[in-house]
Amino acid sequence: MKVKYEELVDLFSTLLIKKGFSNEDAKEAGVIFAENTVSGVLSHGINRFPRVLKYIDDGDIKIGVKEEVVFSLPFFERWDCKMGLGPLFAKKGMTRAILLAKESGIGVVALKNNNHWMRGGYFAELASKEGLIGICWSNTTANMPPWGAKTARLGNNPLCIAVPVKDGSSFLLDMAISQYSYGKLETLRLKGENLPYPGGFDKNGKLTDVPSDIEESKRMLPIGYWKGSGLSIALDLIASVISGGNSVKEISDFTNEVALSQIMIVLDPMKLGIDNAEERAKEILSYVKSADTAEGFRGVSYPGESMNRTKDANMRDGVEVVDSIYLSLKELV
Amino acid sequence: MKVKYEELVDLFSTLLIKKGFSNEDAKEAGVIFAENTVSGVLSHGINRFPRVLKYIDDGDIKIGVKEEVVFSLPFFERWDCKMGLGPLFAKKGMTRAILLAKESGIGVVALKNNNHWMRGGYFAELASKEGLIGICWSNTTANMPPWGAKTARLGNNPLCIAVPVKDGSSFLLDMAISQYSYGKLETLRLKGENLPYPGGFDKNGKLTDVPSDIEESKRMLPIGYWKGSGLSIALDLIASVISGGNSVKEISDFTNEVALSQIMIVLDPMKLGIDNAEERAKEILSYVKSADTAEGFRGVSYPGESMNRTKDANMRDGVEVVDSIYLSLKELV
């Protein structure tokens, strides 16, 4: 069935208020879950919402907490987010980094003890919508073996980079360091399809594109094999060290995936003396798109390019949701 | 044949002095080329040196130029490197970013019109050797198609991240965004071997691990397929915009790969209120290494872990070089 954006905001907000969140926090978070849903990322919108409610019930997402600024410099702050609702504090943190960057040219906010932020690209794009460059990443629980290993020790640590483009749009990279997500494996398995490219090793150590073989072995592939393995470690090192928060190691000891470490970095090109940032981005992206399309592909696009179209269409027509998930949430109202 | 580190420094320095570099610049650059060589990265040490001499002869690497600081803030500087010798200005830029970070907690230096820096990890490690986190990347000429395309529009834009570890070593990620380099393809082709994993598409659009098929199609694979394609664009966007320098597009119009844009970022954990950075890094890396080794692998190591052993051995015993390259350089003295 199709559901309107406003209905989703209302649904999520109402359920959060019922759990005890303030009207303001519930509305703010409801907007983010609804935005993610209409942006086409249902896995970090409506489809994830039942798990968020469970984490609240488990006491792993705390209600009514406030961030504590544990350290600050003119362009840097470190916050303890006290295990609040992830998207709320990720948005607050990025909003603060944007302000710091507008004042100083660069703004960095490091968050410890924040919960899952859902879709990191949402926060990076807050910066690019204001003409700034936004970079953010989060660590996660261990869900991927390091290169050469068969037991999970790496997070898929999503990395997001948003750059403003002249026509008002954004370049928006939002990528986990695993080649695929477990959600993607499940979706394809249920459809009886294989992955487009190998996504992990099977239990015998052979690369495979069969989702169930990877679900069985739990040997997800990092992007670029040994390279993504190294990048995942680097992102965890910086996030954990600079936030003073939990690393993938500690997070993996918790029952639920909670109390993560996140980094928000914003650069203000104007404040750094650059007055043609958006034109330059446009030129660079036009050049990328000028490549000859390969056989079997429908053209060359850059990250984030199609998301705005998806979002516009879903805002207009409503977004197709999984009936059972939507209806079960409606029943909770 | 095996050559000692000191002989290499002397050889490179002497040849640069003969080309017209000052004694000081020649020594500084000679040390970097020699360090890269004994670190086991001959492709960006002695093996690349003949091409550097050619670029100097072509007038594409300028002799005796000084960087111009075109913009500065307390923790940010933008330099025009005037097409000088790449490693010299990359080292100067990183050294400056280290100083800025020690003063302010964060230091960023953006370089435009710098030439190829050879091995980026050298510069990132300058920071980690002082207990700081070093991040740097460079754009390059277009050498890889974006995802969905068959003509090159992306650089392999090497990204380097160094983090200090308690025992005095460094975590050191130094990765191009292509899965393999053309140098690696050539090396394996000459040995009659295939790549360990697919590294590109052949001219018919099929993934292949045959080096010559990729050399023919020029369809190198980015790490993680569409993900690395996006990451490469992101790195070029930020480097070009913030440095005010050339993007992959402009660089690709030049005959030689020159006048690149590079970003150096340094974080000083102590100045950011963190006093256990190296201990935390050690814990995280120990956790990664505690994973069970997969069949067919010799254990789990992290980026940079083995480089120090290689370097120590080569410093002691001399480094094995390609006779013809070494001897042809000796003839130029």
* Token pair belonging to B8: 């290499």
Q: Å from A190 to nearest chain B CA?
A: 24
CB of A213 closer than 8 Å to CB of A188 = no
Q: Of A108, A106, A38, whose CA–CA distance to A271 is shortest?
A: A106
A161, A224, A298 ranked by CB distance to B224: nearest: A224
Q: Å from A262 to nearest chain B CA?
A: 15
* Token pair belonging to A5: 């954006």
Could you tell me the CA-to-CA distances from B202 to A207, B145, B223 in Å, in that order? 20, 13, 17
Mark which residues 296-325 of B lie under 8 Å from A by CB.
296-303
Cβ neighbours of A152 in B, within 8 Å: 291
Residue contact A274–B241, C-beta within 8 A: yes
User: Is A240 near chain B, with CB under 8 Å?
Assistant: yes
Cβ neighbours of A249 in B, within 8 Å: 283-284, 287
In angstroms, the CA A302 to CA B310 distance is 40
Place B168 in a pLDDT band, splitting at 50, 70 and 90: confident
Residue to substitute from B180, B253, B288, interface A, most A β-carbons within 10 A: B288
Confidence check: pLDDT of B106 > 90: yes
Place B308 in a pLDDT band, splitting at 50, 70 and 90: confident
Residue contact B240–A280, C-beta within 8 A: yes
CB of A152 closer than 8 Å to CB of A142 = yes
Nearest CA in chain A to B279: A241
Confidence check: pLDDT of B318 > 90: yes
pLDDT digits (tens, 9 = 90+) for B208-241: 999 999 999 999 999 999 999 999 999 999 999 9
Q: Concatenated DSSP letters for B139-184?
A: --S--BPPTTBSS--B----EEEEEE-TTS-EEEEEE-SBSS-HHH
For residue B144, how far is the Cα from the chain centroid?
A: 17
In angstroms, the CA B30 to CA B87 distance is 10
User: Does this complex have an ipTM over 0.90?
Assistant: yes
pLDDT digits (tens, 9 = 90+) for A25-53: 999 999 999 999 999 999 999 999 999 99
Q: How many CB pairs under 8 A join A and B?
A: 259
Residue contact A224–B219, C-beta within 8 A: no
Residue contact B223–A224, C-beta within 8 A: yes
In angstroms, the CA A189 to CA B74 distance is 54
Q: Of B137, B143, B231, whose CA–CA distance to B181 is shortest?
A: B143
pLDDT digits (tens, 9 = 90+) for B109-133: 999 999 999 999 999 999 999 999 9
- What's the whole-model pTM score? 0.98
Terminal Cα-to-Cα distance of chain A (whole angstroms): 18
Mark which residues 197-226 of B lie under 8 Å from A by CB.
197, 201, 204-205, 207, 219, 222-225
CA-based diameter of chain A, in Å? 55
In angstroms, the CA B215 to CA A134 distance is 36
Q: Of B250, B23, B41, B71, whose CA–CA distance to B160 is shortest?
A: B41
Mean pLDDT value of segment B150-165: 98
Q: Number of helices (H) and strands (E), helices first, in chain B?
A: 12, 12
User: Is A247 near chain B, with CB under 8 Å?
Assistant: yes
Residue contact A163–B241, C-beta within 8 A: yes
Residue contact B75–A75, C-beta within 8 A: yes
Mark which residues 5-34 of A lie under 8 Å from B by CB.
none
In angstroms, the CA A248 to CA A260 distance is 8
Q: Residue B214: what are its φ and ψ, rounded to 5°?
A: -80, -40
Work out the burial of residue B231: count CB atoms within 10 Å of its CB; fewer than 13 is exposed, 13-18 middle, 19 or more buried. Answer: buried
Residue contact A104–B73, C-beta within 8 A: yes
Cβ neighbours of A244 in B, within 8 Å: 273-274
Cβ neighbours of A204 in B, within 8 Å: 295
CB of A332 closer than 8 Å to CB of A15 = yes
In angstroms, the CA B105 to CA B27 distance is 31
Residue contact B300–A147, C-beta within 8 A: yes
B163, B204, B223 ranked by CB distance to A223: nearest: B223
pLDDT digits (tens, 9 = 90+) for A124-136: 999 999 999 999 9
Residue B116 is a catalytic residue: no
In angstroms, the CA B174 to CA B197 distance is 19
Say what the pLDDT of residue A308 is: 87
Residue contact A106–B104, C-beta within 8 A: no
Q: Is A89 helix (H, G, I), strand (E, B) or coil?
A: helix
Place of tokens 């790490």: B223
* Token pair belonging to B89: 């200005």
Place of tokens 């072995």: A217
Residue to substitute from B170, B218, B219, B242, interface A, most A β-carbons within 10 A: B242
Residue contact A150–B291, C-beta within 8 A: yes
User: Is B254 near chain A, with CB under 8 Å?
Assistant: no
Mean pLDDT value of segment B285-303: 96
* Token pair belonging to B276: 């256990």
DSSP state of A47: G
Terminal Cα-to-Cα distance of chain B (whole angstroms): 18
CB of A278 closer than 8 Å to CB of A165 = yes
Q: Of B71, B131, B121, whose CA–CA distance to B267 is shortest?
A: B131
Please enumerate in sequence order all residues whose Cβ is within 8 A of that of A201, keeping only pairs 6 or more positions apart, or say none.
Answer: A150, A207, A208, A214, A217, A219, A221, B294
Say what the pLDDT of residue A267 is: 98
Output Rg (C-alpha) for chain A, integer angstroms: 20
Catalytic residue among B30, B33, B44, B91: B44
In angstroms, the CA A108 to CA A264 distance is 6
- Which of the residues of A are catalytic? 44
* Token pair belonging to A202: 């099977």
Q: Å from B280 to nearest chain A CA?
A: 7
In angstroms, the CA A38 to CA A15 distance is 19
* Token pair belonging to A73: 């410099």
DSSP state of A247: -
Pairing mode, strands B200-201 and B68-73: unpaired
Nearest CA in chain B to A234: B161
Cβ neighbours of A228 in B, within 8 Å: 223-224
Vertex B245, ends B241 and B247: CA angle to 5°? 75
Q: Å from B137 to nearest chain A CA?
A: 13
pLDDT-flagged residues of chain A (< 50): none
Could you tell me the CA-to-CA distances from B158 to A317, B178, B304 in Å, in that order? 43, 9, 15
Nearest CA in chain A to B72: A272
Say what the pLDDT of residue B167 is: 84
Q: Of B219, B225, B174, B146, whose CA–CA distance to A178 is shortest?
A: B225
Rounding to the nearest 10 degrees, give the CA dihedral for residues B322, B323, B326, B330.
180
Say what the pLDDT of residue A101 is: 98
In angstroms, the CA A203 to CA A145 distance is 13
Q: Number of helices (H) and strands (E), helices first, in chain A?
A: 12, 12
CB of B296 closer than 8 Å to CB of A205 = yes
